[in-house]
Amino acid sequence: MAGGKIRKDKASSRGAPSSNHYQGGISFHKSKGQHILKNPLLVDSIVQKSGIKSTDVVLEIGPGTGNLTKKLLEAGKMVVAIELDPRMVLELQRRFQGTPFSNRLKGDVLKTDLPYFDICVANIPYQISSPLTFKLLNHQPSFRCAIIMFQREFAMRLVAQPGDTLYCRLSVNTQLYARVSHLLKVGKNNFRPPPKVDSSVVRIEPRKPRPQVNPKEWDGFIRICFIRKNKTLGSIFRIKNVLSMLEKNYKTLQALQQSHNGSSGSTNVEMDISGLGDSKEDQSMELDDGTDSEMEVEDGDADGEASEFKQKVLNVLKERDYFEKRSSKLSQEEFLHLLSQFNMAGIHFS
Protein backbone atom coordinates (compact mmCIF):
# COMPACT_ATOMS: atom_id res chain seq x y z
CA MET A 1 0.00 0.00 0.00
CA ALA A 2 1.21 3.49 -0.71
CA GLY A 3 0.77 6.01 1.99
CA GLY A 4 1.85 8.48 4.57
CA LYS A 5 4.66 8.92 7.03
CA ILE A 6 5.17 6.78 10.06
CA ARG A 7 7.17 7.34 13.19
CA LYS A 8 8.49 5.14 15.94
CA ASP A 9 7.01 5.98 19.34
CA LYS A 10 9.05 5.60 22.44
CA ALA A 11 7.98 3.00 24.94
CA SER A 12 5.43 4.37 27.37
CA SER A 13 6.11 4.79 31.06
CA ARG A 14 4.23 1.54 31.59
CA GLY A 15 6.91 -0.34 29.69
CA ALA A 16 4.81 -1.07 26.59
CA PRO A 17 6.92 -2.14 23.58
CA SER A 18 7.53 0.41 20.85
CA SER A 19 5.74 0.10 17.50
CA ASN A 20 5.49 1.88 14.18
CA HIS A 21 2.60 4.31 13.80
CA TYR A 22 1.16 6.57 11.15
CA GLN A 23 1.00 10.19 12.24
CA GLY A 24 -2.75 9.87 12.78
CA GLY A 25 -2.23 6.91 15.11
CA ILE A 26 -2.63 3.99 12.66
CA SER A 27 -0.21 1.15 13.39
CA PHE A 28 1.09 -0.92 10.48
CA HIS A 29 1.36 -4.70 10.63
CA LYS A 30 4.22 -6.30 8.69
CA SER A 31 2.50 -9.68 9.12
CA LYS A 32 -0.35 -8.35 6.96
CA GLY A 33 2.02 -7.03 4.30
CA GLN A 34 1.50 -3.39 5.34
CA HIS A 35 4.64 -1.69 4.02
CA ILE A 36 4.13 2.00 3.26
CA LEU A 37 5.76 3.46 0.14
CA LYS A 38 7.44 6.61 1.44
CA ASN A 39 9.24 7.96 -1.65
CA PRO A 40 7.11 10.67 -3.39
CA LEU A 41 9.23 10.43 -6.57
CA LEU A 42 8.32 6.77 -6.87
CA VAL A 43 4.64 7.58 -6.37
CA ASP A 44 4.87 10.10 -9.22
CA SER A 45 6.70 7.59 -11.43
CA ILE A 46 4.08 4.88 -10.86
CA VAL A 47 1.25 7.25 -11.77
CA GLN A 48 3.11 8.48 -14.86
CA LYS A 49 3.80 4.93 -16.09
CA SER A 50 0.17 3.96 -15.51
CA GLY A 51 -1.00 6.14 -18.41
CA ILE A 52 -4.23 7.14 -16.66
CA LYS A 53 -6.80 9.07 -18.74
CA SER A 54 -9.02 11.79 -17.32
CA THR A 55 -12.06 9.59 -18.03
CA ASP A 56 -10.70 6.49 -16.24
CA VAL A 57 -12.18 4.74 -13.23
CA VAL A 58 -9.11 3.63 -11.28
CA LEU A 59 -9.15 0.62 -8.97
CA GLU A 60 -6.56 0.97 -6.21
CA ILE A 61 -5.85 -2.08 -4.09
CA GLY A 62 -4.02 -1.38 -0.85
CA PRO A 63 -4.29 2.44 -0.69
CA GLY A 64 -2.79 2.67 2.78
CA THR A 65 -3.01 6.24 4.02
CA GLY A 66 -3.63 7.78 0.62
CA ASN A 67 -0.53 9.42 -0.85
CA LEU A 68 -0.81 7.44 -4.09
CA THR A 69 -4.60 7.77 -3.93
CA LYS A 70 -4.28 11.56 -4.10
CA LYS A 71 -2.17 11.37 -7.27
CA LEU A 72 -4.62 8.91 -8.84
CA LEU A 73 -7.53 11.25 -8.08
CA GLU A 74 -5.66 14.08 -9.77
CA ALA A 75 -5.14 11.95 -12.89
CA GLY A 76 -8.42 10.02 -13.29
CA LYS A 77 -12.17 10.48 -13.12
CA MET A 78 -12.79 8.36 -10.03
CA VAL A 79 -10.83 6.12 -7.67
CA VAL A 80 -12.30 3.00 -6.06
CA ALA A 81 -9.89 2.22 -3.24
CA ILE A 82 -10.30 -1.20 -1.63
CA GLU A 83 -8.53 -2.48 1.46
CA LEU A 84 -8.32 -5.60 3.60
CA ASP A 85 -8.00 -3.48 6.74
CA PRO A 86 -11.17 -1.52 7.74
CA ARG A 87 -9.00 0.93 9.74
CA MET A 88 -7.27 2.02 6.56
CA VAL A 89 -10.61 2.58 4.81
CA LEU A 90 -11.70 4.95 7.59
CA GLU A 91 -8.36 6.74 7.56
CA LEU A 92 -8.63 7.24 3.79
CA GLN A 93 -12.15 8.65 4.07
CA ARG A 94 -11.07 11.04 6.84
CA ARG A 95 -8.11 12.26 4.82
CA PHE A 96 -10.20 13.35 1.83
CA GLN A 97 -13.35 14.43 3.66
CA GLY A 98 -14.24 18.03 2.79
CA THR A 99 -11.78 18.17 -0.14
CA PRO A 100 -12.61 18.51 -3.87
CA PHE A 101 -11.73 14.82 -4.20
CA SER A 102 -14.31 13.51 -1.70
CA ASN A 103 -17.02 12.93 -4.33
CA ARG A 104 -14.61 11.09 -6.64
CA LEU A 105 -13.29 8.61 -4.07
CA LYS A 106 -15.03 5.45 -2.99
CA GLY A 107 -13.35 3.55 -0.18
CA ASP A 108 -14.39 0.00 0.61
CA VAL A 109 -13.19 -3.20 2.24
CA LEU A 110 -11.97 -5.83 -0.24
CA LYS A 111 -14.79 -8.24 -1.07
CA THR A 112 -15.24 -11.25 -3.33
CA ASP A 113 -16.34 -9.35 -6.43
CA LEU A 114 -14.35 -6.51 -7.94
CA PRO A 115 -16.19 -3.41 -9.23
CA TYR A 116 -16.02 -2.01 -12.76
CA PHE A 117 -12.71 -0.25 -13.52
CA ASP A 118 -10.57 0.83 -16.48
CA ILE A 119 -7.16 0.55 -14.87
CA CYS A 120 -5.82 -0.97 -11.65
CA VAL A 121 -2.96 0.31 -9.51
CA ALA A 122 -1.98 -1.92 -6.60
CA ASN A 123 0.64 -2.30 -3.90
CA ILE A 124 -0.52 -5.57 -2.45
CA PRO A 125 0.48 -7.92 0.38
CA TYR A 126 2.94 -10.25 -1.30
CA GLN A 127 1.31 -13.39 0.09
CA ILE A 128 -1.76 -12.87 -2.13
CA SER A 129 0.17 -12.00 -5.30
CA SER A 130 -0.77 -15.03 -7.40
CA PRO A 131 -4.46 -15.33 -6.40
CA LEU A 132 -5.01 -11.60 -6.95
CA THR A 133 -3.26 -11.61 -10.34
CA PHE A 134 -5.64 -14.24 -11.69
CA LYS A 135 -8.63 -12.70 -9.95
CA LEU A 136 -7.90 -9.54 -11.93
CA LEU A 137 -7.36 -11.43 -15.20
CA ASN A 138 -10.66 -13.25 -14.63
CA HIS A 139 -12.53 -9.95 -14.21
CA GLN A 140 -15.15 -9.03 -16.82
CA PRO A 141 -15.55 -6.69 -18.56
CA SER A 142 -11.83 -6.70 -19.22
CA PHE A 143 -9.82 -3.70 -18.05
CA ARG A 144 -7.11 -1.86 -20.00
CA CYS A 145 -4.13 -2.60 -17.78
CA ALA A 146 -2.94 -3.15 -14.21
CA ILE A 147 0.16 -1.60 -12.63
CA ILE A 148 1.11 -3.74 -9.64
CA MET A 149 3.92 -3.76 -7.08
CA PHE A 150 5.16 -7.31 -6.47
CA GLN A 151 8.00 -8.95 -4.61
CA ARG A 152 10.86 -8.74 -7.11
CA GLU A 153 11.39 -12.46 -7.68
CA PHE A 154 7.66 -13.01 -8.17
CA ALA A 155 7.64 -10.15 -10.70
CA MET A 156 10.57 -11.64 -12.58
CA ARG A 157 8.77 -14.98 -12.75
CA LEU A 158 5.78 -13.23 -14.27
CA VAL A 159 7.86 -11.73 -17.09
CA ALA A 160 10.29 -14.66 -17.57
CA GLN A 161 10.72 -16.03 -21.09
CA PRO A 162 11.52 -19.59 -22.30
CA GLY A 163 15.07 -20.46 -21.30
CA ASP A 164 15.19 -18.03 -18.38
CA THR A 165 16.07 -19.51 -14.98
CA LEU A 166 12.83 -18.26 -13.42
CA TYR A 167 10.57 -19.43 -16.28
CA CYS A 168 7.88 -21.52 -14.62
CA ARG A 169 4.21 -22.46 -14.54
CA LEU A 170 3.34 -18.98 -13.24
CA SER A 171 5.06 -17.40 -16.28
CA VAL A 172 3.19 -19.59 -18.76
CA ASN A 173 -0.23 -19.22 -17.12
CA THR A 174 0.01 -15.44 -16.79
CA GLN A 175 1.34 -14.84 -20.29
CA LEU A 176 -1.41 -16.96 -21.82
CA TYR A 177 -3.96 -14.38 -20.66
CA ALA A 178 -1.90 -11.17 -20.57
CA ARG A 179 1.06 -9.24 -21.91
CA VAL A 180 3.40 -8.65 -18.99
CA SER A 181 6.28 -6.16 -18.80
CA HIS A 182 8.64 -5.01 -16.08
CA LEU A 183 8.48 -1.25 -15.42
CA LEU A 184 10.83 -0.46 -12.56
CA LYS A 185 12.70 -1.91 -9.61
CA VAL A 186 11.90 -0.59 -6.13
CA GLY A 187 14.47 -1.04 -3.34
CA LYS A 188 13.24 -2.18 0.06
CA ASN A 189 14.46 1.03 1.69
CA ASN A 190 11.70 2.94 -0.11
CA PHE A 191 9.20 1.45 2.38
CA ARG A 192 8.43 1.86 6.06
CA PRO A 193 8.79 -0.56 7.65
CA PRO A 194 11.16 -1.99 5.00
CA PRO A 195 10.29 -5.50 3.75
CA LYS A 196 12.95 -8.20 3.64
CA VAL A 197 13.28 -8.10 -0.16
CA ASP A 198 13.22 -5.64 -3.06
CA SER A 199 10.11 -5.09 -5.15
CA SER A 200 9.26 -4.47 -8.80
CA VAL A 201 6.42 -2.70 -10.57
CA VAL A 202 4.86 -4.72 -13.40
CA ARG A 203 2.39 -3.80 -16.14
CA ILE A 204 -0.26 -6.42 -16.99
CA GLU A 205 -2.43 -6.01 -20.11
CA PRO A 206 -5.18 -8.62 -20.62
CA ARG A 207 -5.21 -10.21 -24.06
CA LYS A 208 -8.29 -9.37 -26.10
CA PRO A 209 -10.07 -11.49 -26.95
CA ARG A 210 -9.30 -13.90 -24.15
CA PRO A 211 -7.79 -17.20 -25.42
CA GLN A 212 -10.49 -19.84 -25.80
CA VAL A 213 -8.80 -22.52 -23.73
CA ASN A 214 -10.45 -24.66 -21.07
CA PRO A 215 -8.71 -23.33 -17.90
CA LYS A 216 -8.91 -26.64 -16.01
CA GLU A 217 -7.59 -28.57 -18.99
CA TRP A 218 -4.77 -26.05 -19.48
CA ASP A 219 -3.85 -26.01 -15.78
CA GLY A 220 -3.75 -29.81 -15.55
CA PHE A 221 -1.52 -29.97 -18.64
CA ILE A 222 0.90 -27.25 -17.51
CA ARG A 223 1.19 -28.73 -14.00
CA ILE A 224 2.37 -32.01 -15.50
CA CYS A 225 4.81 -30.31 -17.88
CA PHE A 226 6.42 -28.43 -15.00
CA ILE A 227 6.71 -31.37 -12.59
CA ARG A 228 10.39 -31.25 -13.51
CA LYS A 229 10.79 -28.48 -16.02
CA ASN A 230 14.38 -29.32 -17.04
CA LYS A 231 13.66 -32.97 -17.83
CA THR A 232 12.50 -33.98 -21.28
CA LEU A 233 8.78 -34.29 -21.90
CA GLY A 234 9.47 -37.88 -22.91
CA SER A 235 10.69 -38.57 -19.37
CA ILE A 236 7.84 -36.70 -17.67
CA PHE A 237 5.12 -38.51 -19.61
CA ARG A 238 6.62 -41.89 -18.67
CA ILE A 239 6.06 -41.22 -14.96
CA LYS A 240 3.66 -43.81 -13.53
CA ASN A 241 1.42 -41.39 -11.65
CA VAL A 242 1.07 -39.18 -14.72
CA LEU A 243 0.18 -42.07 -17.01
CA SER A 244 -2.25 -43.49 -14.45
CA MET A 245 -4.10 -40.18 -14.16
CA LEU A 246 -4.25 -39.64 -17.93
CA GLU A 247 -5.46 -43.18 -18.56
CA LYS A 248 -8.20 -42.75 -15.96
CA ASN A 249 -9.31 -39.55 -17.70
CA TYR A 250 -9.19 -41.32 -21.07
CA LYS A 251 -11.37 -44.22 -19.92
CA THR A 252 -13.84 -41.88 -18.23
CA LEU A 253 -14.20 -39.83 -21.40
CA GLN A 254 -14.63 -42.97 -23.51
CA ALA A 255 -17.42 -44.16 -21.20
CA LEU A 256 -19.14 -40.77 -21.36
CA GLN A 257 -18.95 -40.71 -25.14
CA GLN A 258 -20.43 -44.20 -25.37
CA SER A 259 -23.29 -43.17 -23.08
CA HIS A 260 -24.02 -40.33 -25.52
CA ASN A 261 -24.07 -42.71 -28.50
CA GLY A 262 -20.62 -41.73 -29.64
CA SER A 263 -21.30 -38.02 -29.29
CA SER A 264 -18.74 -35.84 -27.58
CA GLY A 265 -21.55 -34.59 -25.36
CA SER A 266 -20.42 -31.00 -25.72
CA THR A 267 -21.27 -28.71 -22.82
CA ASN A 268 -20.56 -25.13 -21.97
CA VAL A 269 -16.95 -24.82 -20.83
CA GLU A 270 -16.39 -22.97 -17.56
CA MET A 271 -13.98 -20.15 -18.40
CA ASP A 272 -13.24 -19.01 -14.84
CA ILE A 273 -9.44 -18.64 -14.67
CA SER A 274 -9.18 -17.38 -11.08
CA GLY A 275 -8.29 -20.91 -9.99
CA LEU A 276 -4.94 -20.63 -11.77
CA GLY A 277 -3.76 -18.38 -8.94
CA ASP A 278 -1.88 -20.64 -6.57
CA SER A 279 -0.75 -19.19 -3.22
CA LYS A 280 2.05 -21.78 -3.21
CA GLU A 281 3.68 -19.69 -5.95
CA ASP A 282 3.99 -16.89 -3.38
CA GLN A 283 5.24 -19.10 -0.56
CA SER A 284 8.10 -20.68 -2.53
CA MET A 285 9.93 -17.64 -3.86
CA GLU A 286 13.25 -18.77 -2.42
CA LEU A 287 13.08 -22.26 -3.88
CA ASP A 288 15.02 -23.25 -6.97
CA ASP A 289 12.40 -25.05 -9.05
CA GLY A 290 14.86 -26.10 -11.71
CA THR A 291 14.59 -29.82 -10.97
CA ASP A 292 12.31 -29.97 -7.93
CA SER A 293 9.03 -31.79 -8.26
CA GLU A 294 5.73 -30.18 -7.29
CA MET A 295 4.37 -33.62 -6.33
CA GLU A 296 5.71 -36.99 -5.30
CA VAL A 297 5.92 -39.22 -8.35
CA GLU A 298 7.58 -42.46 -9.36
CA ASP A 299 9.55 -42.94 -12.52
CA GLY A 300 7.75 -45.67 -14.29
CA ASP A 301 9.21 -47.95 -16.90
CA ALA A 302 9.43 -51.02 -14.70
CA ASP A 303 6.90 -53.06 -16.67
CA GLY A 304 9.27 -53.52 -19.59
CA GLU A 305 6.58 -53.70 -22.25
CA ALA A 306 4.78 -50.40 -22.72
CA SER A 307 1.03 -50.45 -22.42
CA GLU A 308 -1.12 -49.50 -25.37
CA PHE A 309 -2.18 -46.27 -23.69
CA LYS A 310 1.37 -45.36 -22.73
CA GLN A 311 2.42 -45.82 -26.34
CA LYS A 312 -0.48 -43.61 -27.43
CA VAL A 313 0.77 -40.81 -25.17
CA LEU A 314 4.39 -41.14 -26.24
CA ASN A 315 3.44 -41.26 -29.91
CA VAL A 316 1.88 -37.79 -29.64
CA LEU A 317 5.22 -36.47 -28.33
CA LYS A 318 7.30 -38.31 -30.93
CA GLU A 319 5.15 -37.53 -33.96
CA ARG A 320 5.16 -33.81 -33.16
CA ASP A 321 8.86 -33.71 -32.23
CA TYR A 322 8.29 -32.88 -28.54
CA PHE A 323 9.77 -36.05 -27.02
CA GLU A 324 13.23 -34.57 -26.40
CA LYS A 325 12.06 -31.03 -25.65
CA ARG A 326 11.94 -29.48 -22.18
CA SER A 327 9.20 -27.35 -20.64
CA SER A 328 11.79 -24.80 -19.50
CA LYS A 329 12.37 -23.89 -23.14
CA LEU A 330 8.90 -24.26 -24.69
CA SER A 331 7.06 -21.18 -25.94
CA GLN A 332 3.41 -20.37 -25.33
CA GLU A 333 2.55 -21.40 -28.88
CA GLU A 334 4.30 -24.77 -28.45
CA PHE A 335 2.39 -25.52 -25.25
CA LEU A 336 -0.91 -24.67 -26.94
CA HIS A 337 -0.03 -26.80 -29.96
CA LEU A 338 0.99 -29.81 -27.87
CA LEU A 339 -2.18 -29.60 -25.75
CA SER A 340 -4.31 -29.53 -28.91
CA GLN A 341 -2.48 -32.61 -30.24
CA PHE A 342 -3.10 -34.52 -27.00
CA ASN A 343 -6.78 -33.55 -27.09
CA MET A 344 -7.11 -34.64 -30.73
CA ALA A 345 -5.77 -38.04 -29.65
CA GLY A 346 -8.46 -38.21 -26.95
CA ILE A 347 -6.00 -37.50 -24.12
CA HIS A 348 -7.25 -34.96 -21.57
CA PHE A 349 -5.89 -33.40 -18.39
CA SER A 350 -9.01 -32.53 -16.36
Euclidean distance between CA atoms 80 and 230, whole angstroms = 43
Euclidean distance between CA atoms 117 and 202, whole angstroms = 18
Ligand-binding annotation for 37, yes or no, is: yes
Ligand-binding annotation for 260, yes or no, is: no
Euclidean distance between CA atoms 82 and 105, whole angstroms = 11
For 168-325, list the strands marked E by DSSP: 178-186, 191-192, 199-206
Ligand-binding annotation for 85, yes or no, is: no
Q: How many residues does the chain have?
A: 350
Euclidean distance between CA atoms 131 and 241, whole angstroms = 27
Ligand-binding annotation for 139, yes or no, is: no
Q: CB–CB of 121/72 below 8 Å?
A: yes
Ligand-binding annotation for 123, yes or no, is: yes
Close Cβ partners of 302 (under 8 Å, ≥ 6 residues apart) = none
Ligand-binding annotation for 83, yes or no, is: yes
Amino acid identity of residue 25, one-letter, is G
Close Cβ partners of 105 (under 8 Å, ≥ 6 residues apart) = 69, 73, 78, 79, 81, 92, 93, 96
How far from 10 is each of 153, 244, 269, CA to CA, in Å? 35, 62, 59
148 DSSP β-pair partners = 122, 202
150 DSSP β-pair partners = 200
User: Binding site membership for S-adenosyl-L-methionine: which residues?
Assistant: 35, 37, 62, 83, 108, 123
In the annotated binding site, the residues are: 35, 37, 62, 83, 108, 123
